[in-house]
Chains A and B, each alone.
Chain A
Amino acid sequence: MSVSLFNLPDCLMLSLALVLIGSYGVFRRRSLILVLLSIEVMLNGVNLSLISFNFFRWGTVENSHYLYMLSIGVAAVEAAVGLSMVIVLFKNYNDITRNRISQLGERA
């Protein structure tokens, strides 16, 4: 088999790399909007893996394609809810860094 780039393992690597990059963003970003944005990066990677699985292995029915539609629908709702919460935080405190949501917890 010739060395080929466009195949299942490579696509999966790309999608997992996106997941990891996104999670790095989740760890690091202080702004909650940017955390949400990082999660979109992860979701993008997951969607990529869905579509590539469908194409490379099970190319008879487009199952992943509608899973993709559902997933971006969910992503939209999550973004809407998350962003509206961010707006509430901003209205209440004029601050949307993650400090704002790190107050509860054990102060033993």
Chain B
Amino acid sequence: MNPYLLTQLPLVGGFIFLLFLASINPFRKEGASTLIAVVALCSTAAAIWFFLPEGAQYFGGAIRVTSVGKVIAYVCLGLTAIGMVLSEEYLDKVRVNGIDWRMVVLALALGMVNLCLANDIATLFIAYELVSIPSYVLAGFSHGDPRSNEAGMKYLMLGIFTSVLFLLGLSFIYGATGEIHLVAIHDKLARAVEAGATGDLTLAKIGLGFLMGAVLFKVAVAPFHNWLPDVYQGTNLASLAIISSPVKVAVFGMLGMLLWGVFEPLADLWKPVLLVAAAISAVLGNLQAVSQTNLKRLIAYSAVVNAGFILLGILVNSVSIVVFYLGSYGIMTLGSWAALMSMGTNQADVDELSDLAGMGRTHRWSALGLTVILLSYAGIPLTSGFAAKFGVVLEALKPDAAMPPMTLWVVMLSVCGGLVSFYFYFQIIRALWLQSPAPESADRRLGGSGLRWNYAFVLILSVVVILSLGMFVRLPGL
């Protein structure tokens, strides 16, 4: 059997198993389906580890296994599994059908794995769509909730609007090179740049513009980020955990691999684009977040800021830094959702900043975990957030990094933006620890002060990962 299909088998099998499970009526399915999904995700990762040698190609070159792709696939699968654990009780609480939800997430995971390993335009496109469309579905999953309706619809509208442009970009690139294998496209482009073939090159560049624009939209970098806060605000937390963490990691991984693996001959062109996008992200994300009081929107803006940093990391072509950043960012995000989930009650999630007031007393451990995570977001030393940002900045400022001329200013802008971001992260910390809860919300919280195991697990995991990555990992260049 083709070893590549072997890696798809757990996800496919899990999907089908869940499908059967859904039809068995008298059965408590929440825990079982979580278990199945987690096992499927983990065994996919194991299968990738065992069966896919590096550099192997499958299906006539449609799939090419690279070390970067594998690492990003592991990160994505791991984050998805954690998100799955996180959803265990919450979905019940928001009355979402858990099995449906998990099937969608498994399909999404399938898309992510293939996105990381795709090597031709067709596979890339389909995998990209298999990451995108389930995301829209997840965003709108709580279909009785007006906000979720809006988030799903908005995400879907803008998403398919840009994925059409994505396809347009692919079409132009295909038209300019005539190749569908990404490696071959890279070679063609390199030859075209050498030969100075203007017509083809122009077409390829325009195609690259559409392609990049669509992907930058998907990762919500600044001028393309306007959908993100709205979608975050409307989506339920479990779906958000998937959308905001593994999906983002996968698409960022794809962006990096595309830019450096395929469009590397055009690097002089797209480097300034990334730089400008990073700069705008730093400015706009931070400034829009400063006066924000809605927690999900706040974290959305911080996602924009972090996306800017990741772009800088991609720009310097440091795989280790980018993977480190993505991993730590993913786990941080999951941890923050876990904290918010554990603080909510059966009636309502925590939503506004003021809802967090006094949580340091009523939900001590969640608040503590959230504090560590926020410190990491803010980039306080000893946390992985700091290590990642510091690593990116160091790499970008290396004299031999071949960066565009304005890099120094952008880096300074990003760092200053980091200072601004202290303000809103510490607003949250202040609300947690220093404010007393409003009287009517105090009795609202009396019920749920125990920390469920899955939230506790994810919180502890993320705090441990944050601190251990922050303290013990030595990145090259640090």
Residues on A close to B: CB < 8 A? 19, 22-23, 26, 32, 35-36, 39, 42-43, 45-46, 49-50, 53-54, 57-58, 63-64, 66-67, 70-71, 74, 77-78, 81-82, 85-86, 88-89, 92-93, 100-106, 108
Cβ proximity bits B123-151 to A, threshold 8 Å, 1 near / 0 not: 00110010001001100100110110111
**Within the complex, what minimum Cβ distance (angstroms) separates A100 from chain B?**
7
Which residues 215-270 in B have Cβ within 8 Å of A in the complex?
229-230, 233-234
For the complex, give the distance between the alpha carbons of A39 and B166 in Å.
Answer: 13
Asked if B175 contacts A85 (CB within 8 A), the reply is: no
Task: Pick from B8-16, B28-36, B156-164, B349-357 the stretch touching chain A.
Answer: B156-164
For the complex, give the distance between the alpha carbons of A102 and B151 in Å.
Answer: 9
Given contacts A58-B175, A104-B229, 20 further A-B contacts (CB under 8 A): A39-B161, A49-B172, A50-B171, A58-B178, A63-B121, A64-B171, A67-B121, A67-B180, A74-B126, A77-B129, A78-B133, A78-B163, A81-B137, A81-B156, A82-B153, A82-B157, A85-B156, A88-B143, A104-B151, A108-B291
B154 proximal to A (CB < 8 A): yes
**Within the complex, what minimum Cβ distance (angstroms) separates A106 from chain B?**
8
Asked if B122 contacts A67 (CB within 8 A), the reply is: yes
Q: How large is the interface on B (under 10, 10 to 19, 20 to 34, 35 or more residues)?
A: 35 or more
For the complex, give the distance between the alpha carbons of A1 and B180 in Å.
Answer: 31
Q: B174: which A residues are within 8 A, CB to CB?
A: 50, 53-54, 58, 63-64, 67
Given A42-B164, A92-B144, A85:B152 Cβ within 8 A: yes
Contact of A43 (CB < 8 Å), options: B125, B152, B164, B170? B164
A-B contact pairs, 28 of them (CB 8 A): A19-B164, A26-B157, A32-B153, A36-B157, A39-B157, A39-B160, A39-B161, A46-B167, A46-B171, A50-B167, A54-B174, A57-B178, A58-B175, A58-B178, A63-B121, A64-B174, A71-B167, A81-B156, A82-B153, A82-B160, A86-B153, A88-B143, A93-B146, A100-B149, A101-B154, A104-B147, A104-B233, A105-B229
Q: A58: which B residues are within 8 A, CB to CB?
A: 174-175, 178
Asked if A74 contacts B129 (CB within 8 A), the reply is: yes
Contact of B164 (CB < 8 Å), options: A39, A66, A85, A104? A39
Residues on B close to A: CB < 8 A? 121-122, 125-126, 129, 133, 136-137, 140, 143-144, 146-147, 149-154, 156-157, 160-161, 163-165, 167-168, 170-172, 174-175, 178, 180, 229-230, 233-234, 291
How many cross-chain pairs have Cβ atoms below 8 Å apart between A and B? 119
**Within the complex, what minimum Cβ distance (angstroms) separates A85 from chain B?**
5
For the complex, give the distance between the alpha carbons of A58 and B121 in Å.
Answer: 15
Nearest opposing residue in chain A for B231, CB measure:
A104
For the complex, give the distance between the alpha carbons of A46 and B167 in Å.
Answer: 7
**Within the complex, what minimum Cβ distance (angstroms) separates B409 from chain A?**
28
Interface class of chain A by DSSP:
helix
Asked if A78 contacts B147 (CB within 8 A), the reply is: no
For the complex, give the distance between the alpha carbons of A23 and B158 in Å.
Answer: 11
Asked if A101 contacts B157 (CB within 8 A), the reply is: yes
Q: A82: which B residues are within 8 A, CB to CB?
A: 153, 156-157, 160
**Within the complex, what minimum Cβ distance (angstroms) separates B91 from chain A?**
18
Given A71-B167, A92-B144, A63:B126 Cβ within 8 A: no
For the complex, give the distance between the alpha carbons of A33 and B404 in Å.
Answer: 44
For the complex, give the distance between the alpha carbons of A49 and B203 in Å.
Answer: 12
**Within the complex, what minimum Cβ distance (angstroms) separates B298 from chain A?**
12
**Within the complex, what minimum Cβ distance (angstroms) separates A40 from chain B?**
9
